[in-house]
Structure 1
Amino acid sequence: MTCAYALDEPDDPCPQRSGRLSFARERGDTNLAGVARYVLVPIGNAIAWAVERLLRPPLVFLIRYLVIKPGALLYRYVLAPVGRYVLAPIVYALIGALLFAGSVSTVVFDFLIVRPLSWLWRAVLVPIRNHVLAPIGRAIRATLRPIGNATREILRAFRIGGRAVPPGR
């Protein structure tokens, strides 16, 4: 017995029952499964049959002969020849012009961007690295090296019986 549709029994552990009819019947639900099975499903099947047998063939015919076939003919006899004999030479000429402009723009890019940046790297940033940042790094290393050595000695002192302390303990 399910908790929703069976008559209640006094010692039933179902929390939805209160000694009367089940929760679903209290809120006014009737046997909707029978309505769905014997009324709604046949109506839905009839609608599906009508669409499949009565509406689909004319729609397929109309779409095939009013949309697909004219579109295929338009592509075959108008769009393809126009593209082949009119647009293709124009596109090829544009591609050639862009390739030539690309070679010119490569030279311009080299002189306006690449060479100034390489000069900036060699003349400004490398000397700053060598003469400013490197001494600061050496000073920091000289300051932190004794701290690291002391930490290493402290950790070495924690070894027990010649074995290292297992990590995590």
Structure 2
Amino acid sequence: MDLQKPPPEPRPPEGCLVTAVRIPVRIVALVLVVPVRMAWDALVVVGRVLRDAVLRPLGRALAWLGNALFVLPLVGLWRYVLVPVGRALALLAHVLVVVPARWLHRYVLTPVGHALTWLARYLVAVPARWLYTWVLAPVGRAVARCVRGLGRLAGAVAAGIGLVLYRTAHVLLVLPALALWRWVLAPAGRVLAVVAREVGDALGHAWRIAGHLSRAVGRVLGTLFRWIFVEPLSWVYRTVLTPVGHVVRDAVLHPVGQAVRAVGRGAREALTAARDTVRQVRADVRRMLFGDPRHPIPVDRREPSRPGTRTLGNSTTALTKD
């Protein structure tokens, strides 16, 4: 596998117009692009610092707070209140609405619909079929033949008119437009393409040069920032804040955490008791609506015992009877 880059394609020879346009355009582009590139790099650095130091911790805190204040209460409400109530209402609606509606459809609406379908067949379908076969179909065929003849005549007239208009438009519009494109617009487009290409190349070179300058300035500012702020703050964090944080963790946070865990255990026990109560109430409501469940009656499914086989010793036929 060849890892070397292919040699660049040779560019066509450039004229004096290209050389005269290139140098001024590149100088102006460099002067205009350097401040823009440095401002852009500064904004990128500030945005990264804000994202890592402010926005991400704030987002995690807001997510935890939203989960504790909204998601968990809503989940508990849905699981332990709305779902049991919805099931009870669905069961009640099935008993009060679905079963009567099914009976009405099966024993009232279906027979009436069948009767109306027999009646409509003999009063509407048969006369309509006769009318279509003996009246509408012959009239439609005649009208179709007339329309096809008129269409052929109109097509011939439109073709003649279209040919005349095409010839006229070709002479009055196409030939002048072709001459304008060939002798005016194409040369002007070539000149504008050369100018646009040189402007684009100049902007690219200026952007790359501005990037190198911006990186050098950024390294200098980063070194100064580390010397002035980062190293003193790191020293304060190691020598002052870390011991204070350990003291706060051992004296305040651990007792508070134990108290919160105790409250959580009490809340879980309360939720368990409430769930058992809801289950018992639901069972009582089902028992009041449908009664106690029927217990299946055991049925003896064993096969009857086969009688003993007859032998010559206990036979009672006439041949063996004494």
Distance in 1 (alpha carbons) for counterparts of 2:179 and 2:150 = 42
One-letter amino acid of the counterpart of residue 69, structure 1? W
Change (3 A) 1:39 1:150: closer
Aligned-partner Cα distance in 2 for 1:75–1:141: 73
> Which of 111, 120, 123 lines up with 1:49 in the alignment?
111
Which residue type is aligned with residue 123 of structure 1?
W
AA aligned to 1:88 is R
Q: Which residue of structure 1 lines up, in the alignment, with residue 180 of structure 2?
A: 120
The TM-score normalised by the length of structure 1 is: 0.58
Q: Per-residue deviation at 1:51?
A: 0.5
Alpha-carbon separation, structure 2, partners of 1:66 and 1:89: 33
Across the two proteins, how many residue pairs are aligned to each other?
131
Q: Which residues in structure 2 correspond to 1:1-169 (within 5 Å)?
A: 15-16=80-81, 23=85, 31-36=92-97, 38-45=99-106, 46-52=108-114, 54-84=115-145, 86-130=146-190, 132-137=191-196, 139-140=198-199, 143=202
Name the % identity.
Answer: 17
**Partners of 1:67 and 1:91 in 2: how far apart?**
31
Matching residue's letter, 1:118: L
Offset, 1:80: 0.4
Q: Which runs of 5+ in 2 are unaligned?
A: 1-78, 211-322
Q: Alpha carbons of 1:26 and 1:79: their partners in 2 closer, same or farther (altered >3 Å)?
A: closer
Distance in 2, Cα, partners of 1:94 & 1:47 = 56
Cα distance change on mapping 1:150 and 1:73 into 2, 3 Å: same
Paired residue secondary structure (2:81): coil
Structure number with bigger Rg: 2
CA distance in 2, matches of 1:25, 1:143: 73
SS at match of 1:64: helix
Q: How far apart are 1:135 and its partner, in Å?
A: 4.4
4+ runs deviating over 6 angstroms: 24-27, 148-151
CA RMSD of aligned residues (A): 3.7
- What is the CA–CA distance in structure 2 between the aligned matches of 1:42 and 1:58, rounded to whole Å? 24
Q: 1:65 to 1:127 in 2, by over 3 A?
A: same
CA distance 1:136–1:35, change in 2 (3 Å): closer
**Higher RCO by CA contacts (8 Å cutoff, separation 6 or greater):** 2
Task: After superposing the two structures, state which structure 1 stretch, 33-42 or 114-123, moved more.
Answer: 33-42
Gaps in structure 1 of 5+ consecutive residues: 1-13, 152-169
Q: In the aligned structure 1, how far is the partner of 2:92 from the partner of 2:202?
A: 86
> 1:145 offset after TM fit, Å?
7.5
**Residue type matched to 1:34 in 2?**
V
Distance in 1 between the 2:156 and 2:150 partners?
10
Secondary structure of 2:80's match?
Answer: coil
Q: How far is 1:25 from its partner? A: 10
* Matched residue SS, 1:16: helix
Q: Distance in 2 between matches of 1:40 and 1:138?
A: 78
